[in-house]
């Protein structure tokens, strides 16, 4: 069971937090909850902050998805 869970985690992709900027309010809850600091808030050309995932660091725990208020309305 433990190994099965590890394999499922390894095989899944890093999360996509949003496809469109309108689906992110820039609250940074995802960046705050990330246990390995794989998420950082990056300012766009209009001065709004959006999260960016470093896929090299991400451990695919999906805590960022669970905490996002726009994904859990």
Q: Provide the 10 A C-beta neighbour count for residue 42.
A: 11
Does residue 40 bind ligand SF4 (CB under 6 A)?
no
| DSSP strands (E only) in the chain | 39-43, 49-53
User: 3-state class of 67 per DSSP?
Assistant: helix
Sole binder of ligand SF4 in the list 12, 20, 68, 72 (CB under 6 A): 68
**Contact (Cβ atoms closer than 8 angstroms) between residue 70 and residue 23:** yes
- The CB-of-72 to ligand SF4 minimum distance in angstroms stands at 9
62 binds ligand SF4 (CB under 6 A): yes
Binding site for ligand SF4 (CB under 6 A): 14-15, 17-18, 24-30, 33-34, 36, 38-39, 51, 53, 58-64, 67-70
């Amino acid at each position: 069971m433990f190994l099965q869970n590890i394999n499922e985690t390894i095989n899944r992709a890093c999360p996509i937090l949003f496809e469109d900027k309108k689906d992110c309010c820039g609250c940074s809850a995802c960046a705050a909850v990330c246990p390995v600091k794989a998420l950082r808030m990056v300012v766009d050309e209009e001065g709004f902050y959006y999260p960016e995932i470093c896929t090299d660091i991400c451990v695919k725990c999906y805590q960022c998805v669970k905490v996002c208020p726009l994904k859990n309305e």
